[in-house]
Amino acid sequence: MGEIEQMKKEAEALKTQIEAARKAVHDTDMASAASGVAPAPRVQLKTRRTLKGHLAKIYAMHWSTDNRLMVSASQDGKLLIWDSHSGNKVNAVPLKSSWVMTCAYAPSGNLVASGGLDNMCTVYNLKTPVIKTVKELDAHTGYLSCARFLSDTEVLTASGDTTCALWDLETGKQKTVFLNHVGDCMCLSLSPDMNSFVSGACDSLAKLWDIRDGQCKQTFLGHTSDINAISFYPGGNAIITGSDDCTCKMYDLRADQEVISYQDAALNSGVTSLALSMSGRLIFAGYDDFNCNIWDSLKGEKVGVLSGHDNRVSCTGVPPDGMCVCTGSWDSFLKIWN
Amino acid sequence: MSGSSNIVAMKKIVQQLRFEANINRVKVSQAAAELQQFCIQNALQDPMLTGVSSSTNPFRTQKVCSFL
């Protein structure tokens, strides 16, 4: 057992080394550095649309790249495709398993995906005369918490089995498996250049991965509970996370550490979801307390609230053109605000 | 007893930590300055910051004008 003891010692020494290296570059934090920046305007958004149609809790939503269509998933066993401008439902996709936890729109607009407690990611073609199941991606040994399309031929998934995976849609097989988390993976976000992604997990860690070689490149500490939501900052040099510990945090990738925490003593509900405005200045974070709080990402101050849901806000999303924010809730409604 | 699989697992942990320890880290002040610059440069294109005028808001309900 001497070898294991030695390795444990080396692991502890490396962790100490990493902590020291982070401290050495920690010459300020984001809020102090942003003291000269003009405050963000007080943000008062109005509900422009309330999308009614789901019959049970909404768990996920995702915007199409056309800034108009969006997909939502509910435990009523359906995916609904909405035209957000008219508020009309364009398509309904019945799911084999109603225990859905995630949905995604392919950048092309041709495909959508869903998954959940069935441990699978099912991909549907929206463009055939009748919506058809294209593939069932079946290899995870735990629930599917998040899925994102890289293209019409590649999908990234995060799972309760503690792994993430890159799938080839033509073969239906995993091309790369990302192993390193020791808790259920809950969320993922693709980098703007599509060469890497970040994942958040129940081990309270966020990790940065190289998509092609599967290597975990960086690990971000700081949260004290499950990370439920994660997003790349536009520009790709930072990430924002949201956690059951009731805080959101920004980690800078190049400084390799937490640079600001978005929290308030009065807030004691977990963060379920988050989305960023186009410039990254505003963070829209959904909480268990039925609200969506708006944070100034540079100064760490709360600058607005979106109140209107009658139950937990489970998902948020900003379309690529940044024209609005959509919130989805366990109250079965989606709301569009700007 | 899975003694050897524990050793393999420990080796992976140490390998991963060695990799992460070796990356270059940029000073927070520099990283923060560049993040701020990005935000400020893009602020004018951010509809959530500038506000959306009703004439260009695709989510504004269209009011119908009728001639009497």
Q: What is the pLDDT of residue A42?
A: 82
Determine the average pLDDT of the residues in B5-25. Answer: 94
**How confident is the model at residue A298, as a pLDDT?**
96
Say yes or no for a CB contact (<8 Å) between A4 and B10.
Answer: yes
Query: Is B9 part of the contact surface with chain A (CB cutoff 8 Å)?
Result: no
Give Cβ neighbours of residue B4 (< 8 Å, ≥ 6 apart).
Answer: none
**For A311-325, what is each residue's pLDDT tens digit?**
999 999 999 999 999
How does residue B68 score in pLDDT terms, banded at 50, 70 and 90? low
Question: Please, which pLDDT band fits residue B63 given cuts at 50, 70 and 90?
Answer: low
Q: Is the pLDDT of residue B61 over 70?
A: no
Cβ within 8 Å, pair A325-B31: no
> What is the C-alpha to C-alpha distance for residues A80 and A281, in angstroms, rounded to an integer?
30
- Do strands A206-210 and A196-201 pair parallel, antiparallel, or not at all (unpaired)? antiparallel
What's the pLDDT tens digit per position in B19-60? Answer: 999 999 999 999 999 999 999 999 999 999 999 988 889 988
Determine which of A157-166, A170-179, B52-61 has the lowest per-residue pLDDT on average: B52-61
Q: Is the minimum CB–CB distance between B49 and chain A shorter than 8 Å?
A: yes
What is the arithmetic mean of pLDDT over A232-250?
97
Q: What is the largest CA-CA distance in chain A?
A: 68
Q: A81 and A112 in contact (C-beta within 8 Å)?
A: yes
Nearest CA to A268 among A242, A289, A297?
A289
**Averaged pLDDT score across all residues of chain B:** 88
The verdict on ipTM greater than 0.85 is yes
Rounded Cα–Cα distance for residues A101 and A327 (Å):
15
CA A209 vs. chain centroid, Å, equals: 15
pLDDT at position B60: 81
Look at strands A78-83 and A69-74 and give their pairing: antiparallel
The stretches of chain A forming alpha helices (DSSP H) are 2-25, 30-33
pLDDT surpasses 60 at A13: yes
d(CA A211, CA A174): 12
Instruction: Determine contact: A180 vs chain B, CB below 8 A.
Output: yes
Could you give the strand order of the β-sheet that contains A69-74, starting from the edge strand earlier in sequence? A58-63, A69-74, A78-83, A88-94
Q: Give residue A109's region: left, alpha or beta (phi > 0; psi -120 to 50).
A: left
pLDDT for residue A78: 97
CA distance A278 to A322: 5
For A29-84, how does the pLDDT look when each residue is reduced to its tens digit (9 = 90+)? 999 999 999 999 888 899 999 999 999 999 999 999 999 999 999 999 999 999 99
H/E stretch holding A132:
strand A132-138
Q: Residues 6 or more apart from A23 whose CB is under 8 A from it? A: none
A73 forms bridges with which residues in the sheet?
Answer: A60, A79
Give the percent of chain A with pLDDT over 90: 98
CATH of region B2-44: 4.10.260
| φ and ψ at residue B28, rounded to 5 degrees | -55, -35
Tell me if A277 and B33 make a contact (CB, 8 A cut-off).
no
Residue of chain B with shortest Cα separation from A294: B48
Inter-chain touch B29–A14, beta carbons under 8 Å: no
- At A2, is the pLDDT very low, low, confident or very high (cuts 50, 70, 90)? confident
**Reported pTM:** 0.95
Averaged pLDDT of chain A? 96
DSSP three-state, residue A119? coil
Q: How large is the average pLDDT for residues A209-218?
A: 96
Residues pairing with A250 in the sheet: A240, A260
Domains: count for chain A: 1
- Residue at A291: amino acid letter: N
Confidence check: pLDDT of A294 > 60: yes
- Map out the domains of chain B as residue ranges: 2-44
Average pLDDT over residues A127-151: 97
pLDDT for B29 equals 96
Provide the greatest CA pair distance for chain B: 89
A9 in B contact zone (CB under 8 Å)? no
Scanning A221-280 for CB atoms below 8 A from B yields: 233-235, 237-238, 252, 254-257, 259, 277-280
Q: Provide the shortest C-alpha distance from residue A37 to chain B (in Å).
A: 8
Average the pLDDT over A13-28 and give the result. Answer: 97
Q: Is the pLDDT of residue B66 over 60?
A: no
Token readout for A48 is 């422009």
